[in-house]
Structure 1
């Protein structure tokens, strides 16, 4: 519990994502983190993003959490002990159970900010029978620019089970594409935005919501017509595309 390590940027991002009109989270849903050296400052379990204060964050070292992920003998109880920071007003204070997701990101790439939310329209698609392929192909240019190549991770119980699957999926994605995704889609769960800037984390989160709404609307209008591989094949090779993507999505 080290509130002095909670930056103004992380606090502003957390509150911004928690505003009700954005429909990204309700109650104590969601969590955010910022990398600080070899540690991450991550939202505590059970706290609200909308009303977050520096006291609602916990600092945890990344390496021990990654070691838990890679240890087949580690249990959920081991994780609970690792996330417990102490007590406040007679109750235990713990980093979010989804801290393993945040640690897994840093195990493969030094992304400064990670934002995990549960947008209604995105979760609707991720809870559908087409969840694994719903975002597989871009349907409009700005989506491709901001979201890049999203990664889909099937449902796993939050905690050590999800953390292990998340890390394995991230490592495969980075090996295949040479970079981490800007957006991770969690089946029957929510989304994770990865960015070097708060503005990028916000942009990825909002574009994911718009993309979900576009798909739901297209389905109602007769079906989704993706851009197709031929139309998007060379986007990632264009310097102007990479420059705009770095600026808007915070990829560098």
Structure 2
């Protein structure tokens, strides 16, 4: 068991971020969808529990998990879903079984490559509409306007895999390939037929990435209704982040230097 109930490790900022992302009018999640986490020590994150509502989250709706043992499970070809479920089990509290979210593997996979303080996973309707379409893989391949590029950087697309060990392995593999190619963990990761993952060193940055992904999806859906998406080509964006003012603005908006 790598998970444990530790509300004293859960910061107010994480709870506030989780509740903001769960606000119904933002249409990022519904019911018990989505999860957030914060890196609170070199090898420890706190992550939302399975079945807890983001909108109504409290300090008691998170558990602490150790990162390294879960990454070892991800990297082992012999790991079963049953072993993952056991590792996420934080025991009983008030007669109720408490487990870290099944998507905790996404959160630890990010930390295998980058000590991002915050990771937020949501299922925005507008984005999932694109990720469930015939153009899912290429829908975010090119930016469509400047501020989107500023906040989202180079998004990564991960094809659908069943949540749990299958998704964790696919996510880890695709993320590693992206880091090898670009030298950075993306601010936005798109999960086919599923949702999004926002990474940032600040709570406001994780929120900004999540909200910008929604606007960007709406822009694309509108462009498709008008005849098709005309993205910005590489020539237009090749030296975007060579400019100091652009890098500084990205740092401010998305909470990252990437």
Shared fold per TM-score greater than 0.5: yes
Residue 189 of structure 1, CA deviation:
0.0
Equivalent position SS for 2:112: helix
> Counterpart in 1 of 2:179?
174
Is 1:239 the counterpart of 2:239? The answer is no
Is 1:136 the counterpart of 2:149? The answer is no
Residue 91 of structure 1, CA deviation:
2.1
Is 1:204 the counterpart of 2:209? The answer is yes
> Counterpart in 2 of 1:146?
151
TM-score (norm 2): 0.97
Is 1:186 the counterpart of 2:208? The answer is no
Residue 237 of structure 1, CA deviation:
1.6
TM-score (norm 1): 0.99
> Counterpart in 2 of 1:48?
53
The CA RMSD measured in Å over matched residues stands at: 0.6
Distance 2:23 2:9 in 1: 23
> Counterpart in 1 of 2:8?
4
Q: 2:131 aligns with which of 126, 130, 136?
A: 126
Q: Deviations over 1:70-129 (max 9, x none)?
A: 010010000000000010222210000000000000000000000000000000000001
Q: 2:24 aligns with which of 9, 20, 28?
A: 20
Count of matched residue pairs? 252
Distance 1:198 1:248 in 2: 11
Distance 1:227 1:75 in 2: 43
Residue 229 of structure 1, CA deviation:
1.2
Q: Which runs of 4+ in 1 moved over 4 A?
A: none
> Counterpart in 2 of 1:250?
255
**5+ long unaligned stretches in structure 2:** none
